[in-house]
Amino acid sequence: MIELAWLIPVFPVIGVLINGLFGKQVGEKAGPIASVMAGLSFLVVLGIAFEMIFGAGGSHTVPLWTWVEAGSFSASMSFLIDPLSTIMLLVVAGVGFLVHVYAVGYMHGDPGYPRFFTYLNLFMLSMFLLVLGDNYLVMFVGWEGVGLCSYLLIGFWYEKQSASDAGKKAFIVNRIGDAGFLLGMFLIWTLTGSLTYTEVFKAAPEMSAAMASAVGLLLFVGAIGKSAQIPLYVWLPDAMEGPTPVSALIHAATMVTAGVYMVARTSPIYVMGPDAMSVIAVVGALTGLFAASIGLVQNDIKRVLAYSTVSQLGFMFMALGVGAFTAGIFHLMTHAFFKGLLFLGSGSVIHALHHAPEEQQQDMRYMGGLKDKMPITYWTFLIGAVAIAGVPPLAGFWSKDEILANAFFTGHYTVWIMGTVAAFMTAFYMFRLIFMTFHGEMRVDHHAREYIHESPATMTVPLVILAVLSVIGGVIPGFPPEAGWIHRFLAPSLAKVPAGGHAMDQGVHLMNAAAGGGHSGPAVVFLIILAIAVALGGIALAWYMYVKDTDAPGRLYERFTGIYRLLLEKYYIDEIYQACIVEPTYKLMRGLWTFDAKVVDGAVNGSSLITVVSSRFSGIFDLRTVDGAVNGTASFIRFFSQVFKYLQSGMVQNYLFVMLLGIFVMLSAYLFR
Amino acid sequence: MSNMPLLTLITFLPALGAVIIMLFMKKEQTKAIKGFATAVVVLDFLISLPLWFSFDQSEAGFQFVEKVSWIPTIGVSYFVGIDGISVLLVLLTTLTMIVGVVCSFTAIEEREKEYYVCLLLLATGMLGTFIALDIFLFYVFFEITLVPMYFLIGVWGGPRKLYAAIKFFLYTLFGSVLMLLGILAYYFANFKMGTGTLTFDLVELYAVGPKIPLSLQIWIFLAFFIGFAIKVPMFPFHTWLPDAHVEAPTAGSVILAGILLKMGTYGFVRFALPLLPQASHVFVPFMVLLSIIGIIYGALVAMAQTDIKKLVAYSSVSHLGFVMLGIFALNEQGVLGGQLQMINHGISTGALFLLVGVVYERRHTRLISDYGGLSKVVPVFTVIFAITMLSSIGLPGLNGFVGEFLILIGAFKKSYVYAAFAVIGIVLGAAYMLWLFQRVFFGNLDNPENEKLTDCNAREVLYLLPLVILMFWIGLYPKPFLGRMEASVKKVVKMVNVAEAPQKAALGKMTKLEK
């Protein structure tokens, strides 16, 4: 079965070709066709996973063709099946298939229906390449490919200026990250002479800490872009302009986790570069806390989930940064279940409010009391919320607890505290969302009320399946903590931080040893109790503020207006970027354009070339530039009127004359020396 | 087969066609002229195919060589041949000529006879440039191309055609006169310090390179530099390009971007590097600086444009900055990437100009602000434009990426600083192209004149399709292309680095002594 891995991306290609080339003819069948293709890929993935989990396991390369070869550089189009890629494939293909089925219902009646499914299949293809590649170059193909699909799907409703703006922003911000990824690849190649994982990782232990950190940081720049971490997270909230199934699949469950996958994949290098790891841990923790705080006050249902995603990705990077690679991937998986579920659930709500005024469809202030009208959506959503809040035994608890415990036991106490506070906020904003959307009195526009309905089966069945996964998806692979199945399964793929490798760890290990050794004893019990308390505390606070004493938010607003505005306006980061980066770039580009037309071209046009060039060096720029351009224009006219005269008398002769003159000058220079 | 003067045939067939049109066809017979011109370029492409199939990849030297003495007293010969550096450029030229002729059918409506004569003569000039192995012959062909191009812009161009044509002509002429001085200096230097014979034979001169003293090499390099850098064009010699592109008819722009500019980059690889190895090394920081300025500056200025064609023209400045960066990395990856990127740029930018021509023919405007929401009315056009744009911004899986990647990895090998600056270009590249795409294709269709736009017709799809196929082919399986170039590129890299070797050895000794 494993040797059939090449089939996985082939099905989406077929889907892209059918729906892309014959979209008009296919029409409403585009959805089912794309879904079947995603389903077939999922079947192959299941077969491979079965073999990997119950069979031999290990790591298998499936070579396809030599792709780029240039002297000593070589990279092939080859796939790698190992435990890490197996887990990723299961998540991508599984959630991907469910979202396809969901979208058949959700996108029904949209004029761009075939186009939507073409993009969705194209996304599956790219994501498969990203995960399957056996070297960084193939990963990069998928990496940029998913970026393209993200661009296309965010801007799917392209008539809307905000949508096409958001798509463009996503692509360009991601490109900044990709530039870092590219440089990281170049450095890897100069250091190891290869981009193939197995060869690179064989050479990794020889790397100096400085070089390993440099590689790690450059690659992490890529991850920051793709996985929306500080300071490049700004594209993800805007990406909510895309259709909701896209938000679920690309901007929650799969694409945005590519950075996490990439860092985990590169773990053999990261463990050699502790500085890079520390940076990752800190960036992850900062992002986790920062995004969660913004999520506290947002009113757009999808924006809450978007900031929540940024925050949860921060958790994953926290895990990677403290060396808990397995916990990071584990959280990636559980997050795919519950965040996919939450997004699809929010899509179900938006779908139901289709007849409300457009600006109210996603605004929770115009929702409320929906729980009886759409019970399946409500109950599955509730399960997702409990899961992400971290209440045992649901999925989120197991993975999040491992992350926080690892931060604690490796001595990253600041990271641990930030993570715990973020976890509290998570529980709060999720239940704020639940209470505002589904409980209390209905605030929906009167005209839209009668149209509120539970979504069709193609939408609710995926919700139910994801809800089931959100319940059992943590405890089954993750129990007992730190020693569950997923740890054993992933162990061959992920490197371990060498014992005593981190100076800080050393002390902690000694402390632990003194306290009775390992991650056991009272500390563990304390952490578990604290985690549960934090989750329940957040839920309770949300209940108090949005169910029990509904005036509380208003009172808080009165007292902390400044902070509230700051959070609501997302710390004004977008405005700051606009003022500090975007506007200056525009200014620069306009300035250069004027410079090009007036100065560079002016110099060419004018016989006063020397004046301009020397003024450029003498630095008296403004005065002479303007002057020079003016002089230039005048002499330019004179010059060309001369030329026209020559032209009439036959240009070619003159030209030949110049040529001969040149020969003559050269010859005489040579002969008379 | 091997005795057939294939290269001569390929090169002069278009000129022969031009003569036949000139002498035997009446200017009213426009259909016949178009048909005949098409037949000539198609036939030319077909007879150039053996260059692809019979090309010996393992051979680094010249193949399909023909040599006839021409002016023996001063050592000029008709000496032609191709190697990995030129083979793809020749094929790109014959392919581009088909596209250039076919895309002109409806675009050119006056003086059609002269137009096709000019196009065909231009083909001969360009092909000759790429196959000449005698520097004098090269120079002759290099200059010949100016004349038909000058007329193409000056006669069939836009409103400011005369200004653009004269600027193009004089500017590039100025460069090539200096280049001629360089060639002559080299010629005499060889006589004095090299083989001791008067010869323009490139193969003989290749052996002389390292023997020329560095001080002289530097002067000759500067002369070559002016000539080729204007042609490329490198910053700050690029301002003739936007004017020429904007005013030129579509086919003129396509050929200009696709082939003519490559004569400059080709000149560096073919002449400057191997003939002046030490000087090439000396100039690396300078050349890289100009290339990187070109990459970033070109992209930023492209962003500021309001005219689609001008935007694409400035994007060329940026892209050719990449090519030059790769070449002056002076290692296999860089030069090979630069070589591939020449082809890629010809395909992608050529296609972009064709696409601009398609809408221009219908709407007679190139202002971005006159468009918007086009994807609704012209879906096929949109898809082809999107693929071309993605190829141009270097999306993996399409051709542009492979070239850019190799260039950057080569630059990184030379110095990570070079690559760190150059990657800024890929961010900006995405920015200006996506912004263009957004303004032209997205949003509402608010200009009523665009509502009746018709999508690409069969002829247009037919001439765009080969380019799109090439984008995917090179992107997914570049081996046939890289493979054909590799041996010759290796040889050039070895030649240019031959001078480095003793220096490095000396350095090695010094460090050993220090130890």
In terms of pLDDT, which residue wins out, B315 or B27?
B315
Chain-chain contact of A172 with B236 (C-beta, under 8 angstroms): no
- Give how far A590 is from chain B: nearest CA, Å: 6
- Beta carbons of A151 and A171 less than 8 angstroms apart: yes
Place of tokens 């790109």: B92
Task: Give the single-character DSSP code of A63.
Answer: E
Q: Helices marked H in A450-491 — which ranges? A: 457-472, 475-478, 485-490
* Residue carrying structure tokens 């050479």: A203
Provide, rounded to the nearest whole percent, the portion of chain B with pLDDT above 90. Answer: 67
pLDDT band at A658 (very low <50, low <70, confident <90, very high): low
Average pLDDT of chain A, as a whole number: 85
Contact between chains at A68 and B423 (C-beta distance less than 8 A): no
**Alpha-carbon gap: A651 to the closest alpha carbon of chain B (Å):** 10
Of A70, A175, A665, the CB nearest to B406: A70
Q: What are phi and psi of A651, to 5 degrees?
A: -70, -35
Q: How far apart are CA A195 and CA A137, in angstroms?
A: 7
Mean pLDDT of A228-238: 90
Look at residue A100 in the predicted model and tell me its pLDDT.
Answer: 94
Distance separating alpha carbons of residues B123 and A2, to the nearest angstrom: 52
Q: Specify if B347 maps to a domain.
A: yes
Question: pLDDT exceeding 70 applies to what percent of chain B?
Answer: 96
**Best mutation target, B163, B325, B418, B438, to test chain A (most A CBs within 10 A):** B438
Is A640 within 8 Å of B236 when comparing Cβ atoms?
no
Structure tokens at B335: 């030069």
For residues A442 and A356, the answer to whether their CB atoms sit within 8 Å is no
Cβ distance A186 to B409 less than 8 Å, yes or no, reads yes
Using a CB-CB cut-off of 8 Å, the residues of chain B touching A663 are: 180, 184
DSSP A546-580: III-TTHHHHHHHHTHHHHHHHHTGGGHHHHHIII
Residue of A144, A176, A596 to mutate, testing the B interface (most B Cβ within 10 Å of its Cβ): A596
Of the candidates B163, B188, B236, the beta carbon closest to that of A600 is on B236
To the nearest whole Å, the CA of B148 is away from the closest chain A CA by 12
Q: How far apart are CA A93 and CA A44, in angstroms?
A: 9
**What is the interface pTM, i.e. ipTM, of the complex?**
0.88
B109 against B256, higher pLDDT: B256
User: At A133, is the secondary structure helix, strand, or coil?
Assistant: strand
- Give residues with Cβ within 8 angstroms of A20, minimum separation 6: A114, A118
Query: Which residues from B are below 8 Å from A172, CB to CB?
Result: 427, 430-431, 434
Cα separation of B431 and B304, whole Å? 11
Region B96-125: mean pLDDT is 91
Q: Is B141 within a domain?
A: no
**Are B444 and A159 within 8 A, CB to CB?**
yes
Give the C-alpha separation, B29 to A225, whole Å: 60
Quote the tokens at residue A248: 């679920």
Cβ-contact A429, A341 below 8 angstroms: no
- Residues in chain A with CB shorter than 8 Å from the CB of B478 are 67-68
**What percent of chain B is helix, strand and coil (3-state, nearest 5)?**
75, 5, 20
- What band does A10 get if pLDDT is binned at 50, 70 and 90? very high
Distance from C-alpha of A302 to C-alpha of A347, rounded to nearest angstrom? 9
ω into A480 cis (within 30 of 0) = yes
The confidence score (pLDDT) of residue A671 equals 43
Overall number of domains in chain B? 1
Query: Looking at beta carbons, which residues of chain B come within 8 Å of A651?
Result: 169
Q: Find chain B residues with C-beta within 8 A of A592's C-beta.
A: 297, 300-301, 304
> Which pLDDT value is given to residue A285?
94
**What gap in Å lies between CA A216 and CA A497, rounded to an integer?**
14
User: CA dist A68 to A77, A144, B472, Å?
Assistant: 9, 17, 14
| Neighbour-count burial for B337-353, b at 16+ CB within 10 Å, e otherwise | bbbbbbbbbbbbbbbbb
At residue A56 the predicted structure's pLDDT band, cuts being 50, 70 and 90, is confident
Average pLDDT of every residue of chain B:
90
Angle between helices A301-321 and A258-265 (to 10 degrees): 10
CB contact under 8 A, B395 and A148: yes
What does the block give as tokens for B17?
Answer: 């066609």
Judged by CB atoms closer than 8 Å, whether chains meet at A179 and B337 is answered as no
Query: What is the reported pTM?
Result: 0.88
pLDDT reported for residue A612: 41
Longest Cα–Cα distance in chain A: 105
Instruction: Measure in Å the smallest separation between the Cα of A159 and chain B Cα atoms.
Output: 4
Minimal CA–CA distance to A177: which of A126, A128, A233? A233
**pLDDT for the residue A371:** 86
Residue A627 pLDDT: 44
Q: What is the pLDDT at residue A615?
A: 45
User: A309-318, A462-471, B187-196, B505-514: which has the minimum mean pLDDT?
Assistant: B505-514
Find chain A residues with C-beta within 8 A of B396's C-beta: 137, 140-141, 143-145
For residue A517, pLDDT beyond 50: no
> What residues of A are in contact with residue B424 (Cβ under 8 Å)?
179
Rounded to an integer, the average pLDDT of A5-12 is: 93
Asked if residue A266 has pLDDT above 80, the reply is yes
Inter-chain touch B478–A658, beta carbons under 8 Å: no
Nearest to A119 by CA among A228, A234, A240, A31: A31
pLDDT at residue A576 tops 80 = yes
Of A120 and A495, the structure prediction assigns the larger pLDDT to A120
Tell me the percentage of chain A whose pLDDT exceeds 70. Answer: 87
pLDDT at A670: 47
User: What CA–CA distance (Å, rounded) separates A317 from B401?
Assistant: 29
A358 pLDDT higher than 90: no
CA dist., res. A350 & res. A130, Å (int)? 31
CA of A622 to nearest chain B CA: how many angstroms apart? 19
Q: Of the candidates B126, B171, B392, which has an alpha carbon nearest to the alpha carbon of residue B267? A: B126
Q: How far is B232 from chain A (nearest CA, A)?
A: 16
Q: Does A294 have pLDDT greater than 70?
A: yes
Paired with A80 in beta bridges are A61
Q: What is the pLDDT at residue B2?
A: 53
Cα separation, B487 vs B493, in Å, equals: 10
Say which of A148, A590, A652 has its CB closest to residue B304.
A590
Q: Which residue type does A15 have?
A: G
pLDDT of residue A510: 44
How far apart (Å, rounded) are the C-alpha atoms in residues A617 and A628? 14
Examine residue B92 and state whether it is found in any structural domain, yes or no.
Answer: no
Question: Would B392 be classed as within a structural domain?
Answer: yes
Q: What is the pLDDT of residue A356?
A: 86
Candidate from B332, B375, B427 with C-beta closest to A172: B427
- Residue A505's pLDDT is 45
Q: Which of B390, B427, B476 sits opposite A179 (nearest CB)?
A: B427
Separation between Cα atoms, residue A360 and residue A36, nearest integer Å: 35
Q: Is residue B482 predicted with pLDDT exceeding 90?
A: yes
Is B477 inside any structural domain?
A: yes
| Mean pLDDT along residues A217-238 | 92
Spatial separation of the C-alpha atoms in residues A542 and A23, rounded to whole Å:
47
Mean pLDDT calculated for residue range B284-297: 94
- Per the domain annotation, does B79 fall within a domain? no
At residue B511 the predicted structure's pLDDT band, cuts being 50, 70 and 90, is very low
- Write the CA distances from A124 to A96, A267, B371, integer angstroms: 7, 25, 33
Determine the pLDDT at residue A665.
54
User: What tokens were used for B4?
Assistant: 């057939």
Residue B450 located in a structural domain: yes
Is residue B158 scored above 60 in pLDDT?
A: yes
Q: Is a pLDDT exceeding 50 seen at residue A607? A: no
- pLDDT(A472) > 60: yes
CB contact under 8 A, B239 and A604: yes
What string of H, E and C letters represents the secondary structure of B255-270?
HHHHHHHHHHHHHHHH
Q: For residue B85, give the nearest of B493, B494, B488, B495 by alpha carbon.
A: B488
Contact call for A659 and B177, based on CB within 8 A: yes
pLDDT (mean) for B371-395? 91
A128 CA: distance to closest CA in chain B (Å): 14
pLDDT-derived band at B454, boundaries 50, 70, 90: confident
Q: Which residues of A touch B181 (CB under 8 A)?
A: 662, 665-666
pLDDT for the residue numbered B501:
52
**B147, B431, B443 ranked by CB distance to A164: nearest:** B443
Please judge whether B332 and A65 are an interchain contact, meaning their C-beta atoms are less than 8 angstroms apart. no
Structural domain including B317 reads 283-496
Distance from CA of B82 to the nearest CA of A (A): 20
DSSP A29: G
Strands B63-71 and B76-82: what pairing? antiparallel
Residue A644's pLDDT band, with cuts at 50, 70 and 90, is very low
**φ and ψ at B393, to 5 degrees?**
-90, 10
Would you call A190 and B412 a contact, using CB atoms and an 8 Å cutoff?
Answer: yes
pLDDT of residue A625: 47
Residue A415 CA: distances (Å) to CA of A177, A280, A534, B77, B82: 24, 11, 16, 76, 63
Alpha carbon distances (Å) from A529 to A303, A533, A595: 31, 6, 65
Which has the closest alpha carbon to A600: B293, B42, B71, B145?
B293
- The pLDDT-based confidence of B121 (bands split at 50, 70, 90) is very high
pLDDT at residue number B513: 42
Asked if the model's pLDDT at residue B374 lies above 70, the reply is yes
Closest CA to A101 of A27, A28, A15, A31: A31
Min distance B32 CA to chain A CA atoms (Å): 31
Q: Residue A389: CB partners within 8 Å, gap ≥ 6?
A: A396, A426, A427, A430, A431, A535, A538, A539
pLDDT tens digits for range A364-415: 888 888 888 899 999 999 999 999 998 988 998 999 999 999 999 888 899 9
E-strand spans in B28-114?
A: 63-71, 76-82
Q: How many CB pairs under 8 A join A and B?
A: 160
Rounded Cα–Cα distance for residues B81 and B131 (Å): 5
What whole-number distance in Å separates Cα of residue B246 and Cα of residue B309?
6
B440 occurs within a structural domain: yes
Tell me which residue of B332, B252, B234, B366 sits closest to B291, measured CA to CA.
Answer: B234
Instruction: Label residue B177 by pLDDT band (50, 70, 90).
Output: confident
What is the average pLDDT across A11-20?
Answer: 92
pLDDT of residue B461: 93
Reply yes or no on whether the pLDDT at A351 is more than 80: yes
**Contact A68/B305, CB-based, under 8 Å?**
no
Q: Tell me: the pLDDT tens digits for A127-139?
A: 999 999 999 999 9
Which residues of chain A does B147 touch, with a Cβ-Cβ cutoff of 8 Å? 652
- B279, B224 in Cβ contact below 8 A? no
Q: How close does chain A come to B131, measured CA to CA in Å?
A: 22
